[in-house]
Amino acid sequence: MINSNFAFGPMSSEVIEAIFRTSQYLRKELMIIASKNQIDHNGGYVNNWTTTEFMNFIRKMKETYPNSNVKICRDHCGPGFNGNYDLEDSYKTIEADIKSGFDLIHIDFCNFKGSKEEQFAESRKAIEYCYKLNPRMMIEVGTDENTGTNFGPMNLSEIEREINFFTQFCKPEFYVVQTGSLVKEINQVGNFNKEFVNKISQILKSKGIKLKEHNADYLSNEEIKKRKGIVDAMNIAPQFGAVQTIVTLKKCLIYGIDFTDFLNEVYEKGKWKKWMHNNNEENKFLCCVIAGHYHFASENYKKIIDQLSEREDIKENIINSVMEVIDHYAR
């Protein structure tokens, strides 16, 4: 069973350490949620780590922070989330996660190329495979594919049908609900639909399942309070990447360190495009803040970190800044 209300993306080794350190300081259970793009059986953009390498670092963090309590979770395990629609790839992720000691796997087959019924059937096979490898594996279901554009009775009925399907053969720890939240650029541009989400929350509570919200970055105190008693847990990830990028670039500006190569690399790779909203795409600095985290393992980023490290403990400054964000949510 997971008692944490907050799940954070492992955008970098500094972010991961900030999560463990905050957990120890606050004596609070927290979650790390790794996407297939970030960390996977064959590597990801976070330090180019495989699942095994990632969990080796997690074990090191547990030794460094022995009083921490951090659950390790897989986010969106299913075809298409890393551009690979081969079912075999999803099963390799499941195998690597369970072998390495993950606590929870989010099974999400919304991108499976088939009918809704076929998606259900494949989801069931994947969950049953998780239980075959580890009968005590915790499971998360649901998808933020529900874009929040239809909050009417038909949408509610479809969600209830899905919940009933999954509870026939498993008891999910979390069910993901599209609450209306939406992250664009470095802002929360969504609108929390309290009435609709509360209705789903009541259905889930009656079945002993917790409601999970994704895309919960950049929430104010007021927005967090709106969710109290309705949303049981929320995912936050891109915000940490933006904070780390801003801290790094700010320090470069202070010390006169040229970060043009990093800026150009981030812009040219184009990972920022899916996050754009109202701003001009020629705003290279904003694009770098939005998508810099995809390139923390690049030589250009390592070069500026090395130069900054000659002047101060830049990694410690990044950790402290990320901890402020975690503290904003966790308190």
Answer whether 202's CB lies under 8 Å from 223's CB.
Answer: no
Phi-psi region of 28 (alpha: psi -120 to 50; beta: other; left: phi over 0): beta
Alpha carbon distance 190, 173 (integer Å): 25
Tens of pLDDT, residues 278-325: 777 779 999 999 999 999 999 999 999 999 999 999 999 999 999 999
Q: Which residues on adjacent β-strands are paired with residue 233?
A: 212
Alpha carbon distance 218, 81 (integer Å): 23
Tokens 């297939």 map to which residue?
A: 36
Dmax over CA atoms of the chain, in Å, equals 61
Tens of pLDDT, residues 214-252: 999 999 999 999 999 999 999 999 999 999 999 999 999
DSSP string of 193-234, one letter each residue = -HHHHHHHHHHHHHTT-EEEE---TT--HHHHHHTTTT--EE
Tens of pLDDT, residues 131-168: 999 999 999 999 876 444 445 555 888 899 999 999 99
Whether the per-residue pLDDT at 63 is higher than 70: the answer is: yes
Tens of pLDDT, residues 163-185: 999 999 999 999 999 999 999 99
Whether the per-residue pLDDT at 254 is higher than 90: the answer is: yes
pLDDT of residue 277: 87
SS3 content of the chain, % helix, strand, coil (to 5): 50, 15, 35
Task: Tell me the two tokens of residue 83.
Answer: 């551009």
Task: Tell me the two tokens of residue 24.
Answer: 């120890």
> Which DSSP letter does residue 112 get?
S
pLDDT of residue 151: 55
pLDDT of residue 148: 44
CATH fold label, 6-237:
TIM Barrel (3.20.20)
Spans of all domains in the chain:
6-237, 240-327
Report CA-CA distances (Å) from 228 to 201, 225, 234, 260. 11, 5, 11, 43
Tens of pLDDT, residues 207-221: 999 999 999 999 999
Q: How high is the mean pLDDT of the chain?
A: 95
Burial pattern 315-324, b for ≥16 Cβ within 10 A else e, equals: bebbbebbbe
Whether the per-residue pLDDT at 196 is higher than 60: the answer is: yes
The pTM of this model reads 0.95
Q: How, if at all, do strands 174-177 and 104-107 pair?
A: unpaired
Task: Tell me the two tokens of residue 279.
Answer: 């701003």
pLDDT of residue 146: 42
Element (H, E) at 291: helix 284-291
